[in-house]
Amino acid sequence: MEDKKTIIYIMSNQRSGSTLIENILSKSPQIVSIGESFLLGGYIHKTGPGSSCNWTCSCGDSLDDCTFWNSVYQRLNISNAREIKNTKIVYPKGKDIDYQKEQNEDVRSLMNLIYKAFFDITDCDVLVDSSKEAFYGVSLYQNSPYTFKFIYLKRDLRAVTLSKHKWRKKYNKKNIGLIKLILANYRHRLQCKLMLRKVDKEDVFNLSYEEFFKDPQLVLNQMSDFFGFKTFDMPEFMELSNDHTIAGTPNRFKKRRIQYDDQWENDSKKRPFFNALGFMLNKLG
Ligand SMILES: [Zn+2]
């Protein structure tokens, strides 16, 4: 029965710890993670985010070669990955609005079949999708054949901004000033909140990255109650183990101790205006 299965969708900004939360949850024998399904099409066709790992599955194989994903394709009755063209649901606008809506509907059906394949192959009854995207998540939520719930994950806007700033430099992206960047991150929060208005409050688990680190086991137990999986011991490390996930933080291939990273706090204090603005924007919600 499909309605017994649960999807946990992580909605958040980038650099907010979504890969960490996804990785922790996937340590339960009841839970399987798909990673960021929104980027699956991009990973198959090697376009968009993911070039740093050559768009491979987290097992290290390409989406053409991964044995796990090949059993997914088999269940979709397709002979190879390339038959999957697009896995993004985007807000329909412009002159091709009807076509866009149709496309979105196709992606929704495809994703429900992929979720089903994951459940069938792994025998898990909970699946984590860490796509983050607000519109995509809410579109999959509406009329979902599954019990579909959200983790709305928020992290201090200053931490998100400084981290994004650092990664943009590392990947030679266009430099955006910190003030502009923090305002954009605040706007992102407003967009998430707007989208969450379409979701039943009882289906949303609000999670603060900072609160999580105060007592990870406690928060994990709360999530277990909320989503209905058996609780388990909080893992010490973030590491991949037999995962076949799409995308996530570029750090994910390295085994790392799970701990709060407070490095940004000093960086932020060196910039009093940025620091104060961030403090205020955090308070606004
Ligand atoms: Zn794989």
- Distance from the alpha carbon of residue 28 to the mean position of ligand 1, in angstroms: 18
- Distance from the alpha carbon of residue 250 to the mean position of ligand 1, in angstroms: 16
- Provide mean pLDDT across the span 153-180: 92
pLDDT in tens, 141-166: 999 999 999 999 999 999 999 999 99
What is the structure's pLDDT at 4? 83
Within a domain: 180: no
Q: How confident is the model at residue 170 (pLDDT cuts 50, 70, 90)?
A: confident
Within a domain: 212: yes
pLDDT in tens, 220-273: 999 999 999 999 999 999 998 889 999 988 778 889 999 998 999 999 999 999
Within a domain: 124: yes
- Distance from the alpha carbon of residue 54 to the mean position of ligand 1, in angstroms: 13
Within a domain: 250: yes
What is the structure's pLDDT at 175? 84
- CA-based radius of gyration for the chain: 19
- Distance from the alpha carbon of residue 281 to the mean position of ligand 1, in angstroms: 40
- Distance from the alpha carbon of residue 48 to the mean position of ligand 1, in angstroms: 19
pLDDT at 67 over 50: yes
Within a domain: 216: yes
Q: How confident is the model at residue 124 (pLDDT cuts 50, 70, 90)?
A: very high
Q: How confident is the model at residue 1 (pLDDT cuts 50, 70, 90)?
A: very low
Task: Assess contact for 127 and 244: CB atoms under 8 A.
Answer: no
Within a domain: 8: yes
- Distance from the alpha carbon of residue 37 to the mean position of ligand 1, in angstroms: 13
Q: Residue 1, class by beta-carbon neighbours within 10 Å (0-12 exposed, 13-18 middle, 19+ buried)?
A: exposed
Give the domain CATH number at 118.
3.40.50
- Distance from the alpha carbon of residue 59 to the mean position of ligand 1, in angstroms: 4
Number of domains in the chain: 1
Task: Assess contact for 58 and 11: CB atoms under 8 A.
Answer: no
- Distance from the alpha carbon of residue 68 to the mean position of ligand 1, in angstroms: 6
- Distance from the alpha carbon of residue 66 to the mean position of ligand 1, in angstroms: 4
pLDDT in tens, 188-203: 999 999 999 999 999 9
**CB within 8 Å of 226: residues ≥ 6 apart:** 149, 205
pLDDT in tens, 8-45: 999 999 999 999 999 999 999 999 999 999 999 999 99
Within a domain: 177: no
**CB within 8 Å of 9: residues ≥ 6 apart:** 128, 129, 131, 137, 140, 141, 148, 149, 150, 151
What is the structure's pLDDT at 207? 98
- Distance from the alpha carbon of residue 246 to the mean position of ligand 1, in angstroms: 9
Write out the residue range of the structural domain in which residue 259 sits. 2-157+204-263
- Distance from the alpha carbon of residue 63 to the mean position of ligand 1, in angstroms: 7
Q: How crowded is residue 86: how many other Cβ atoms within 10 Å of its Cβ?
A: 16
Q: How crowded is residue 128: how many other Cβ atoms within 10 Å of its Cβ?
A: 26
Q: How confident is the model at residue 171 (pLDDT cuts 50, 70, 90)?
A: confident
Rounded-to-integer distance, Cα 66 and Cα 48, Å: 20
- Distance from the alpha carbon of residue 197 to the mean position of ligand 1, in angstroms: 35
Parallel, antiparallel, or unpaired: how do β-strands 237-238 and 204-208 relate?
A: unpaired
Within a domain: 63: yes
What is the structure's pLDDT at 3? 52
What is the structure's pLDDT at 250? 79
- Distance from the alpha carbon of residue 34 to the mean position of ligand 1, in angstroms: 10
